[in-house]
Structure 1
Amino acid sequence: MIKSQILDNKTARSLPWVVAIAFFMQSLDGTILNTALPRMANDLNEDPLRMQGVIIAYMLTVALLIPASGWIADRFGTKKIFFSAIVLFSFGSLLCALSNSLDMLIGARVVQGLGGALMFPVGRLVILRAYPRSELVRIMGFITIPGLLGPLIGPAMGGWMVQYLTWHWIFLINLPVGLIGCYAALKFIPDLRGKQKTRFDSVGFLLFGSAMLLITIAMEGLGELHLPHLRVMLLLFAGMACLIAYWLRAGRIAKPLFSPSLFKTNTFSIGIFGNLFARLGSGALPFLVPLLLQIALGYSPSQAGMSMLPLAAAAMLAKWLARPIIERFGFRIVLTVNTLALGLMLASMGLVNEQTPYWFMLCMLAVLGAINSLQFTAMNTVTLIDLDDESASSGNSLLSVVAQLALSLGVACAGALLGGFSAGVSSGSQAEVLSAFQLTFVTVGIMTMFAAAIFSLLPKEVGNTIAH
């Protein structure tokens, strides 16, 4: 491990700030967009109920590239890659602002995703290598604070910009931050590389990436893309075939992208599959709520954005309560009960209509935010808690991929359900549009609740004492 002595005092103080800025850019961009989707759809002459491709393009690109981020940083150096990631993210933001069609916007989001996939993982890698283990808890805690602030101010900022400026500003705001980040990366990011060159599992990367891409496009085919069912089935079949081919090959080679031996750890396998299914509902939530408020209930963009504040604020507060709750009840009880509660709360959003008191809806969103935050903390911790040092890096990378993939699939599922329930809705029929949203929330909630069956398989003793 590279010791902290390689850093002078100024760099040691500044480096966490540089990584924190990158994390803030990424987390802000992930939430500021949702509130702006209806106005963007109107300007681009698209159906606002079919704008999920803008979100999925970014999430899926990030998920595809995360497995390669560590190898790329080791091969070309952390300074060069971190700087390039900020440039790509900023350039993608500029392309998004200049887009005049949905296809152009989706392409620009892919460019943005290329930067986003490298920015925070490489920044976290620099922190891991540049500081002693005794400093990691403090520094990692510092750099994740901006990641919590992004969801708090993103929806409100996005709604305000869309209403009083134009939607283009939600992307243009990244440019000055990106310039600061580029300067800071050149000045403060050390050029660290791996001790020895390792061969990248390019075949495994292609098989695994193809599986994710084909399955996600198949889900999109049921919604935004309106593909024939035969084509959707072929895409799903091809995606599953690629996934099976990857795992069969991974068991036969020395250095696979993700080793099947990870799944010999019981808590890891339960955590990964639980993450995959539970995050479908979590991924749908920030996509569906702003659309519900603006399209079905007639809120302005700024009102819709402000309405998301209780959800984000409660999520931040719940972070402080997660550890004592898990220590008191253990992972199995917490995740089983909390997953059921998350599904029930998502389904309860199907009861929201024009007569629902505003304060009551804000309370519902706050409860949803707290439950969702506890879910993420418990799921992520239980997935990695029993991995040894040798497997921790690979397991953490796979968890990051599954988290991004599940969130993008959640948006794709929500879009497909919303498209199906709103099919044949006459233009201007507000009651039918609201009904489509209500049915979508109920269905997503029921889907999420099934993940509780996975978490119920956790050993009872896991999490009685959290050793960090």
Structure 2
Amino acid sequence: MPLIAKAFIAPFIVACAMFMESVDANIIVTAIPEMARAFGRDPVTLKVAVTSYVLGLGVFIPICGWVADRFGARTVFRTAISIFVVGSLLCAASTSLGPLTVARFIQGVGGAMMVPVGRIIIFRSVRRSEFIRAMNYLAVPAMLGPAAGPLLGGFITTYLHWQLIFFINIPIGIAGIWLTNRYIADTREEHPGRLDLFGFFLSASAGVLLMLGLSLVGGELIPQSAAFAMCAASALLVVFYLMHARRSERPLLDLRFFRVPTFQASVLGGSMFRIGLGAVPFLLPLALQEGFGMSAFKSGAITCASAFGGIFMKSVASNVLRTFGFRQTLLFNAALSGIAIAACGTFFPGTPTWVIWLVVLLGGFFPALQFTSLNSLAYAEIETRDVGHATSLASFIQQVSLGLGVTVAGITLEFTQYLNGHASVQWSDFWLAFLVVGFFSFLSMPVTAQLARDAGSEISRGTRG
């Protein structure tokens, strides 16, 4: 493969796939109110479609590394793009909430394999001297996707039709498959080892039942007794997995990593924070459109402010961590993040648009700083040989936490709507939901407070802006 393919084309292909996944994750939340009207559903009920996508990510991310080693990185990456495109077509063809939920889960499965396997491809196809440059390509979709998604989704939903938002993925996906076949080598490991299939079955089943069960509480799709039964079955499967993990030599999700203080703070403490982080992209467009009567396009123009806050944060994150260290940064910024998220619940009819935009901007800056700090801290004390297994555990819990945020926000919103006696959601129903998800940031602080003052100092001192 020529040098240009190694230094530029492979990272470019992976970055395009990640951009497609990032835009899709942010584009649907802007279209939810219009989709709900098309399906004849309450917009809050569509939280199950958002959750099912995150669930597909969380369930399959832990095994994607093994699958890539076993079947070849190019084969798996190409298959992942194909699955994502098929899921997109199924979303566009959906005429009710049930098929849409299934289609979103299929998209999540494709997305779960695209992103981690894409990183593997870059690591194996690029020289070490070009690695940092190649990884910079991956920062572009992470920054631009959350900004482009709401704007693009809002424009298409307002001036065209919501089904067209899913067709954006088709040409990008087809081009990605062709470029992957032409420029990416099919690398694999000679002996990937055994996959913990029983552990995968237990963890995947527990995650699916918990997330779907909670998402369906208070909804109209299944009886409430069935939703609670799914949650109870999930708890039982978690117990079985804990028993299995203690006996297994190399479990799929190795809980022994929680003995490492920095990993525990990043993943367990961070999971509380991520619940609030996962809720905002669902709650905010809903509040702006259903609560304040904005168009999807105007709503998208406001919600994209959080992405600009995140982009600005990247220019100061390194200096903040070098100056204050991980412990102080995580403690104080958790409080600031919680306040910024909860502040979105103070909006009322007549609130100036520039005030809303500024609050949303801050609601992107502080959580993005927290997210960056948590991700950096996770591997501060993890041995190189254990990074793969640690990543599986961290990724699974992170995705479940993000999905729980949508679920918690939806349940709280439905509860407030019921107390207020509103047949449809009103602007006054949102304040408690924002307050609750913002409070989850504060719940991360007791775990973070247990960190040593110099925790992760080697990383924070070594960061560069």
With normalisation by structure 1, the TM-score equals 0.94
Q: What is aligned with 2:448?
A: 455
Q: What is aligned with 2:432?
A: 439
Q: What is aligned with 1:207?
A: 202
Q: Which amino acid aligns with 1:446?
A: F
The match for 1:267 among 258, 262, 266 is 262
The Cα shift of 1:298 comes to 0.7
1:40-189 equivalences under 5 Å are: 40-189=35-184
In structure 2, C-alpha distance between the alignment counterparts of 1:89 and 1:193, rounded to whole Å: 22
The Cα shift of 1:255 comes to 2.1
In structure 2, C-alpha distance between the alignment counterparts of 1:363 and 1:403, rounded to whole Å: 27
1:37-436 equivalences under 5 Å are: 37-224=32-219, 231-423=226-418, 433-436=426-429
In structure 1, C-alpha distance between the alignment counterparts of 2:191 and 2:458, rounded to whole Å: 37
In structure 2, C-alpha distance between the alignment counterparts of 1:465 and 1:23, rounded to whole Å: 30
Change (3 A) 1:179 1:227: closer
Question: Does the CA contact (< 8 Å) of 1:51 and 1:224 recur in 2?
Answer: no
In structure 1, C-alpha distance between the alignment counterparts of 2:298 and 2:331, rounded to whole Å: 34
Change (3 A) 1:24 1:204: same
- 3-state DSSP class of the match of 1:51? helix
Q: Which amino acid aligns with 2:126?
A: Y
The Cα shift of 1:369 comes to 0.4
The Cα shift of 1:54 comes to 1.2
- 3-state DSSP class of the match of 2:66? helix
The Cα shift of 1:307 comes to 0.7
1:19-38 equivalences under 5 Å are: 19-38=14-33
Instruction: Quote the RMSD (CA, aligned, Å).
Output: 1.8
In structure 1, C-alpha distance between the alignment counterparts of 2:165 and 2:436, rounded to whole Å: 31
Q: Which range is displaced more, 190-199 or 406-415? A: 190-199
In structure 1, C-alpha distance between the alignment counterparts of 2:420 and 2:14, rounded to whole Å: 47
Deviations 1:322-357 (A, max 9, x none): 111011111111111111111112222221101322
Q: What is aligned with 1:11?
A: 5
Q: Which amino acid aligns with 2:367?
A: N
Deviations 1:40-87 (A, max 9, x none): 111111111211111111110111011111111112111111111111
Question: Does the CA contact (< 8 Å) of 2:48 and 2:212 recur in 1?
Answer: no
The Cα shift of 1:221 comes to 3.3
Deviations 1:133-172 (A, max 9, x none): 4433221122221221010111011000001110011101
In structure 1, C-alpha distance between the alignment counterparts of 2:438 and 2:295, rounded to whole Å: 26
Q: Which amino acid aligns with 1:122?
A: V
In structure 2, C-alpha distance between the alignment counterparts of 1:209 and 1:428, rounded to whole Å: 36
Question: Does the CA contact (< 8 Å) of 1:272 and 1:383 recur in 2?
Answer: yes
Question: Does the CA contact (< 8 Å) of 2:44 and 2:410 recur in 1?
Answer: yes
Q: Which amino acid aligns with 2:456?
A: G
Q: Which amino acid aligns with 2:307?
A: A
Q: Which range is displaced more, 200-209 or 70-79? A: 70-79
Q: Which amino acid aligns with 2:374?
A: M
With normalisation by structure 2, the TM-score equals 0.95
Corresponding residue pairs, total = 460
In structure 2, C-alpha distance between the alignment counterparts of 1:276 and 1:226, rounded to whole Å: 28
5+ residue gaps, structure 1, are: 1-6
The Cα shift of 1:245 comes to 2.2
